[in-house]
Chains A and B, each alone.
Chain A
């Protein structure tokens, strides 16, 4: 049951982050295209179109502007580019199939790490509590409790 809860929480968290992040960029349609596609110049510059200043990128932008003016949607233009160059023209992996692992894995690792850290901290706190319990006198007097509280309050106020 705890394992089920753990797995469920990981997937919920991963889904949440991916779906929250899935909304597209603000800005013009051309900007969406520029952010979504890589420059495919002969120099293989490896830059996202929006970041590229080479002559090929200028031509590509002009081509996209014309395509948008002709009534094609961003999705249609992206599809045409993928058909021409393959998935490598996309500036980020798609969010389905094997590529989904790219998006989900960091959050799975983070949530798993978070659960691990939480467990570790609790185990260390338990260890300390046990040691304190072993060293404590069997009966707590009202006076000792009073001083313990005062000590704790004063410790709270101290900046180390």
Chain B
């Protein structure tokens, strides 16, 4: 089976090369025979990569330690659940997994578009295949997951204990789906540049792809934060680690892109800008991969055998250079009649939103690469950690939050004093009331507390703006059609999915901002060394340490569990069981925290240490409003789903456009 897996990768590479050449020649020479031939290659490539992946999965599930990769990331005792996830636990498998997702996306694009958009699609497929070729070259010749061990050992080294968490099955695939997904709009953008079809066709074709990728990247980031929160045991969820930054930057740029394409769709403006943004988004996804796999920047996420940096760096420069050259060569065609009615308009709001999003992306990028710059200039390696990002990004983020409220309410084309007054009076009044109401209640003084106060005021402002939009739409519908409030609300949302879905996403963003602010400013923690029966108090919780239990979970894993009784107002509230897990052959034990999460706050328990006399060191965090962030994530998911839901009106418009196009440009079959 391993030979089949290895051979399939070679076949996939050969087919991808052929497909790429055939697509380009078919498009350039108008060769229908080549097009029809190339048309089969995406499916063959996907099939081969899938066979190869199945072979690797099989090797994990059957404990085939003759494969070096399986030996390094699995062992006999590992749960089947984690054996399945070990596939992407190391560099070799994760690259194969990336290739599998990329080829899967390519096949879906192929099926969606094979009989339409024939001026653009062949080039887009060629670009997708070029990227697939790059990854296939890596998995074939540099990081082959089917590399053998001459004398297979009886057992494997096992998966890193920190990765043995259910999020391992969810977080990396979600993040990869986001990363890889941006290849599709990138490919169509490049195809539009090459084929000189530079209207907004490529944007409409890839809008859903962009949204899906954005959604997965957003959720991937949140899932990663959630994983860090429950697994790393330090009470936090985001550490501004270079690899976290690498996933955050494309998300910011893609968000800027999602907003600015609306101006192109509405006013046929900013073509160069949008083109640059989607190219930059893709470049940032490759940059993220470069960071994880180069070992150049110190990170907790870096793969053990991070040796692929130069390949990714070279690939990065090739993409940057060729795309820049392509955009420059097409500048006359990308020129649009940029006109605005007024400085005070929603269009301007979008431009400033882009500026702030890119500002945060740049600050994050700058902080990530500054250690390298410092070493190059001064010969001194420095660290750029959370204090830098918190101090630089928070003020920009707050300005962005304010714009989240302003954007939907300010008029398109031209905002006048009367409509500004009409639209902003209530939100500003609510913001003012919030400011007055919170002032005597919440602590102020430190930088974090002051920022949190401003965040809450802005959250109130933005929520009023967004809910006001829902209210206006619903009220006018109720007045016109005599519908119930829920009927009118659902009809309004359903008939303007894109707009109201976007508003719901904004509500999710507000919840995330509130959650971050609350948890950063008002959290507290205490560390106590206790003997059984001893108790302590924190924020109204009375915590009694009851006992310590050791369990031989498997032949390689021992669990040491501390049991604590938590009382609130004298009544039993919760029994906490934080634990430490010891894995055979691993130096450091792994903390498994226990968290009781409510809307108000999380009670977060860690077993920090224990001794033979059953005394234990317990660390307790009270983290307010953390669940608001996770709720915000689900609200974003709901809003994105509404935005992406197929719109019959939109489909009809697209169908009519395709018909018009096809009558102008005959399909190869007609030719």
Contact = CB atoms under 8 A, between A and B. Distances in A.
- Do A and B interact? yes
Interface of A: 17, 20-23, 25-26, 35-36, 38, 43-48, 50-55, 58, 86-93, 98-99, 102-103, 105-107, 109-110, 113-114, 117, 120-122, 124-125, 127-128, 131, 152-153, 155-157, 159-160
A132 B413 CA distance: 14
B338 A92 contact: no
Contacts of B374: 93, 98-99, 102
B343 A23 contact: no
A53 to B, nearest CB: 5
A152 B343 contact: no
Given A90-B383, A92-B387, A127-B339, A153 B418 contact: yes
B239 A47 contact: yes
30 contacts: A22-B391, A23-B446, A25-B387, A25-B446, A26-B449, A36-B387, A38-B383, A46-B298, A47-B300, A51-B232, A51-B236, A52-B234, A88-B381, A90-B382, A90-B383, A92-B383, A93-B370, A93-B382, A93-B388, A102-B374, A103-B388, A110-B359, A110-B362, A114-B355, A121-B343, A121-B348, A128-B339, A153-B418, A155-B413, A159-B472
A51 B234 contact: yes
B618 interface: no
Given A25-B446, A92-B388, A113-B355, A53 B380 contact: no
Interface residues of B, number: 65
Contacts of A45: 300
Interface string B305-346: 000000000000000000000000000000000111111000
Interface in B363-388: 363, 366-367, 370, 374, 377-378, 380-388
B300 A156 contact: no
Given A46-B300, A50-B236, A125-B339, 8 more contacts: A23-B447, A47-B239, A55-B588, A109-B363, A113-B355, A120-B338, A152-B416, A157-B419
A156 B366 contact: no
B667 to A, nearest CB: 36
A97 B231 CA distance: 38
Contacts of A58: 608-609
Contact of A21 (B395, B587, B588): B395
Contact of A53 (B233, B355, B366, B587): B233
A131 B339 contact: yes
Nearest to A111: B359
B340 A121 contact: yes
Contacts of B588: 43, 54-55
A86 B380 contact: yes
A156 B383 contact: no
Given A102-B370, A102-B388, A128-B339, A53 B362 contact: no
Contact of B367 (A26, A102, A131, A157): A102
Interface of B: 232-234, 236, 239, 241, 269, 298-300, 338-343, 348, 351-352, 354-356, 358-359, 362-363, 366-367, 370, 374, 377-378, 380-388, 391-392, 395-396, 411-414, 416, 418-419, 445-449, 472-473, 587-588, 591, 606, 608-609
Contacts of B473: 159
Chain B CB within 10 Å, residue with most, of A23, A47, A89: A47
Contacts of B232: 51, 53
A127 B359 CA distance: 27
Contacts of A20: 395, 447
A118 to B, nearest CB: 8
B383 A106 contact: no
A46 B445 CA distance: 31
A65 to B, nearest CB: 11
User: Secondary structure of the A side of the interface?
Assistant: helix
A93 B392 CA distance: 12
A156 B414 CA distance: 8
Contacts, number: 165
Nearest to B415: A156
B385 A48 contact: yes
Contact of A127 (B338, B363, B367, B386): B338
Nearest to A57: B234
A131 to B, nearest CB: 7
A38 to B, nearest CB: 5
A51 B298 CA distance: 15
Contacts of A17: 392, 395
A153 to B, nearest CB: 7
Contacts of A109: 359, 362-363, 366
A36 B224 CA distance: 24
A20 B395 CA distance: 10
Contacts of A105: 366
Contacts of B341: 125, 128
Contact of B411 (A103, A120, A156): A156
A88 B383 contact: yes
B383 A53 contact: no
Chain B CB within 10 Å, residue with most, of A25, A53, A89: A53
A128 B554 CA distance: 74
A87 B380 contact: yes
Given A106-B359, A106-B366, A159-B472, A26 B446 contact: yes
A160 B348 contact: no
B340 to A, nearest CB: 4
A110 B385 contact: no
Contacts of A113: 355, 358-359
A156 B358 contact: no
A58 B447 CA distance: 27
A124 B359 contact: no
State the 9 A-B residue pairs at the shortest beta-carbon distance, nearest first.
A26-B446, A106-B363, A21-B391, A91-B385, A128-B339, A92-B387, A124-B340, A110-B359, A92-B388
Contact of B339 (A47, A48, A117, A124): A124
A5 B378 CA distance: 32
A25 B521 CA distance: 10
B370 A125 contact: no
Given A25-B446, A26-B446, A124-B339, A110 B387 contact: no
A19 to B, nearest CB: 11
